[in-house]
């Protein structure tokens, strides 16, 4: 056994001496392969093939990590170019996602500021709602306080614009939408003071209002007074009821008794009462959710 090992060692030395010049050719290569296999090695062709396969596999592992790869003979260059392409793709995707995030409409922040301003004015907010009166995509804000009553606001030219009542009355109101009309019915104060119904219609940044104030005369007969921006007039009670009926509002009354007789008016509207928020916190949440 020792002789075989010594013989193999001598042959390897001889082979190394032969290979020190130039590459193997012809029968010399076959002889070299035979000698290497005799000592438990592998052929020169298999060794070269394994090295090529290793290089190819290494290149594939490096390029699979990238989205788009450029295969070159230089493995270091392949790694660098693949990393640059992948990094660029990730950056582009993040930028696109950021650009598609929704931006809240400017009117929301403006209306919330108005609600907070009214609530801090010394007359707490008791009613607020949003309604798109003219169907232009931007709703109007209706806000009522205990003392000042209610006003309608719209958002135009980057600011909140008030569309005020031609005849303001203290106290809360019920609001309805009937077709293109906004209807408000007074509910505050003493029933003995009568009842007020407002019919409004938005035209651009102007709110046209017609008010109907119902009361009674000394003979306990129902009376109506109509007031507008241009002035007021006094129709008969029947005429006022007919005009309101065209807008889906129906008036009736009954005799009430307190210290002295009075007429208790009941107002019925064809449409449902508009939902509203009863404090500033609820109004802010509702405006954000609109």
Residue 180 has a pLDDT of 82
State mean pLDDT over 29-51. Answer: 53
Q: How far apart, in whole angstroms, are the C-alpha atoms of residue 118 and residue 151?
A: 11
- Picking from 178, 198, 176, 196, the residue whose alpha carbon sits closest to that of residue 187 is 196
Give whichever of 170-179, 186-195, 214-223 has the largest mean pLDDT: 214-223
State mean pLDDT over 211-239. Answer: 91
Residue 63 has a pLDDT of 41
This model's pTM is above 0.85: no
The mean of the pLDDT values for the chain is 74
Q: Which tens digit of pLDDT belongs to each residue from 131-154?
A: 999 888 899 999 888 776 678 899
Residue 1 has a pLDDT of 52
Residue 246 or residue 72, greater confidence? 246
Q: How far apart, in whole angstroms, are the C-alpha atoms of residue 124 and residue 117?
A: 10
Residue 280 has a pLDDT of 93
Q: What angle do CA 156, 280, 151 make, to 5 degrees?
A: 45
User: Cβ neighbours of residue 123 under 8 Å, at least 6 residues apart?
Assistant: 145, 146, 147, 148
Residue 169 has a pLDDT of 57
Neighbour-count burial of 53, counting CB atoms closer than 10 A to its CB (0-12 exposed, 13-18 middle, 19+ buried): exposed
With cut-offs at 50, 70 and 90, classify the pLDDT of residue 172: low
Residue 58 has a pLDDT of 44
């Amino acid at each position: 056994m020792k002789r075989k090992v010594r013989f193999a060692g001598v042959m390897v030395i001889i082979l190394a001496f032969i290979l020190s010049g130039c590459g193997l050719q012809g029968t010399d290569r076959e002889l070299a392969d035979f000698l290497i296999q005799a000592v438990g090695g592998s052929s020169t062709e298999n060794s070269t093939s394994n090295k090529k396969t290793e290089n190819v596999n290494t290149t594939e592992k490096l390029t699979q990590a990238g989205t788009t790869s450029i295969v070159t003979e230089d493995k270091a260059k392949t790694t660098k170019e693949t990393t640059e392409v992948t990094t660029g793709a990730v950056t582009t995707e993040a930028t696109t996602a950021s650009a598609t995030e929704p931006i809240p409409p400017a009117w929301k922040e403006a209306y919330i500021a108005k609600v907070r301003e009214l609530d801090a004015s010394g007359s707490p907010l008791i009613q607020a709602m949003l309604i798109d009166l003219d169907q232009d995509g931007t709703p109007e804000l209706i806000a009522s306080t205990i003392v000042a009553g209610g006003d309608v606001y719209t958002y135009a030219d980057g600011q909140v614009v008030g569309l005020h009542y031609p005849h303001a009355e203290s106290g809360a109101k019920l609001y309805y939408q009937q077709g293109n009309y906004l209807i408000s019915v007074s509910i505050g104060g003493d029933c003995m003071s009568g009842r007020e119904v407002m019919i409004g219609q938005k035209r651009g940044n102007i709110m046209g209002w017609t008010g109907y104030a119902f009361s009674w005369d000394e003979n306990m007969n129902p009376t109506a007074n109509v007031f507008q921006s241009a002035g007021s007039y006094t129709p008969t009670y029947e005429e006022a009821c007919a005009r309101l009926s065209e807008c889906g509002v129906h008036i009736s009354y009954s005799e009430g008794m307190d210290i002295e007789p009075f007429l208790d008016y009941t107002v019925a509207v064809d449409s449902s009462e508009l939902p509203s928020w009863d404090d500033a916190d609820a109004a802010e949440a509702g405006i954000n959710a609109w």
